[in-house]
């Protein structure tokens, strides 16, 4: 995506979320490319602290981007980790959109080989094990300064397991990348991360 499309995506996410907080529906005008099926996550953060306020998305490209964006933005207002977002709060939040590539299974024979295949800052990861899944976006390990092993430990815990679940037989690890666009301040300029 170019910066114009990224800006359109972030503005649409804010528009969808604000409508959701007011119990309304909206359909902002989006370019034709938004009808392509894409995975997407919408992240809402408090400004200026950067504290997470909501983050929901669809990792697989099963919906047209415009629909995945609308559903993700609306759902991020009701992230179960937090109380529901109010319209008033949106004035003090920034919106970020991560448009994803399709997840691909990482093939590896050992823990060391898996660690060598993960590129911090490029790869988002999904861990699937015993019917549970956990996902962390590519920007997360950068924000916390994690190396590949720390990334996998936190991913294991995100899936509801202990930190070593990534080493268990039967665990599937998938990677994806993402293009990240974010507001620099509430309703401010949009930049590519």
What is the CATH number assigned to the segment(s) 3-101+178-192?
3.30.700.20
Question: 149: how many CB neighbours lie within 10 A of its CB?
Answer: 14
Cβ partners under 8 Å of residue 12, min gap 6: 28, 30, 66, 69, 70, 73
pTM for the full predicted model: 0.92
Q: Do domains 3-101+178-192 and 104-176 have the same CATH topology?
A: no
Pair of tokens at residue 92: 């003090």
Domain ranges within the chain, ordered by starting residue: 3-101+178-192, 104-176
- pLDDT at residue 102 in the model: 95
- pLDDT at residue 44 in the model: 98
- pLDDT at residue 181 in the model: 98
- 106-149 residue pLDDT tens: 999 999 999 999 999 999 999 999 999 999 999 999 999 999 99
- Give the residue carrying structure tokens 């620099």: 184
- pLDDT at residue 69 in the model: 98
**Using an 8 Å Cβ cutoff, are 138 and 126 in contact?**
no
- The residue among 15, 8, 11, 7 whose CA lies nearest residue 87 is 15
- pLDDT at residue 121 in the model: 94
- 16-57 residue pLDDT tens: 999 999 999 999 999 999 999 999 999 999 999 999 999 999
- 60-74 residue pLDDT tens: 999 999 999 999 999
Query: How would DSSP label each residue in 136-178?
Result: E-THHHHHHT--HHHHHHHHHHHTTS-TTGGGSTT-EEEEE-E
- 145-184 residue pLDDT tens: 999 999 999 999 999 999 999 999 999 999 999 999 999 9
At residue 98, the 3 state secondary structure works out as: strand
Q: Which CATH architecture has domain 104-176?
A: 2-Layer Sandwich (3.30)
């Amino acid at each position: 995506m170019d910066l114009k499309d990224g800006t359109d995506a972030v503005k649409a996410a804010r528009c969808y979320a604000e409508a959701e907080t007011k119990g309304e529906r909206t359909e902002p005008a989006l370019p034709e490319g938004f009808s392509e099926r894409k995975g997407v996550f919408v992240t809402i953060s408090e400004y200026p602290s950067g504290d997470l306020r909501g983050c929901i998305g669809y990792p697989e490209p099963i919906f047209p981007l415009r629909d995945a964006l609308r559903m993700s933005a609306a759902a991020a207002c009701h992230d179960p980790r937090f109380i529901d977002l109010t319209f008033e709060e949106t004035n003090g939040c920034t919106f970020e959109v991560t448009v994803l590539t399709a997840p691909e299974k990482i093939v590896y024979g050992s823990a060391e080989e898996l660690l060598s295949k993960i590129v911090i800052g490029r790869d988002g990861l999904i861990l699937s094990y015993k019917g549970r899944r956990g996902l962390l976006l590519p920007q997360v390990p950068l924000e916390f300064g994690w190396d590949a092993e720390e990334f996998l430990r936190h991913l294991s815990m995100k899936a509801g397991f202990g930190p070593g679940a990534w080493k268990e037989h039967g665990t599937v690890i998938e990677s994806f990348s993402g293009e990240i666009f974010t507001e620099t301040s509430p309703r401010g300029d949009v930049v590519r991360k």
